[in-house]
Amino acid sequence: MVTKLHKKSAKTVSGLPLPGAVKDSAQQIWQAGLGAFTRAQAEGTKAFEALVKEGVSIQRKTQAAAEEKITEATTKMSTMANGISSKANGQWDKLESIFEDRVAKALNKLGVPSAKDVNALIARIDDLNKAVQKLSTKAPAAKPVAKAAAPKPVAAKKKAPVKAAAPKAKAKATPKAATKRTAPTAQAQEAAVTAPAQA
């Protein structure tokens, strides 16, 4: 196209119609520019849309890859954290057992009974309570004997103070007999107070 313009311009330079040739060439340049603009506009929107589509597909691919990497990283970190926490729990358990052993040894040296000793004592107390319960069911047969023996000390009020304390002990064993007694004399009360002090 440029070569055609040069040929025409050369022809027109020798002749006088130069302003018409400039006008025609300017108009052709203008039309070529408009054609290029419309072609660029039409193809540009298509190219722009194609670029947008490519960008969307690349973005989706990169997002998928990034999410995959993130999930891999989170799973690795969670497994590492679980491993570390299990090791830490194991260390804490070891430390706790060592501490408990040392405290138990120190308490043993001080003479403090252990949990096993306390449990053995509780079992022994339970056995003794059962034995007492068995004896208390047999005790009502022995009570009439105590009732018969109770009037003898009451009749002998002027006996020695040591003997006066003995009926009082019987009174604790048999509460019914104690209610039937008369009030002790001043000597009997004095003997009861001095007898525990002498023992």
Output the pLDDT for position 68. 93
Token pair, residue 97, equals 């057992």
Q: What are phi and psi of 181, to 5 degrees?
A: -70, 160
pLDDT of residue 79: 92
Q: What pLDDT score does 113 carry?
A: 85
pLDDT of residue 90: 85
Per-residue confidence of the chain (199 residues) as pLDDT tens digits?
Answer: 455 555 555 454 455 567 778 888 888 888 888 888 888 888 878 888 888 899 999 999 999 999 999 999 999 999 999 989 888 888 888 899 999 999 988 988 888 888 888 999 999 999 999 999 999 887 665 555 545 444 555 444 554 444 444 444 444 444 444 444 455 555 555 555 444 444 4
Residue 143 CB burial class (10 angstroms; 0-12, 13-18, ≥19):
middle
pTM of the model: 0.30
pLDDT, residue 127, reads 95
Instruction: Supply the pLDDT for residue 197.
Output: 46
Q: Is 181 helix (H, G, I), strand (E, B) or coil?
A: coil
Could you tell me which residues come within 8 angstroms of residue 155 by beta carbon, excluding any fewer than 6 positions away?
Answer: none
pLDDT computed for residue 5 by the predictor: 53
Domain assignments of the chain as residue spans, ordered by start: 2-103, 113-148, 150-199
Note whether 162 and 172 are within 8 A (CB).
Answer: no
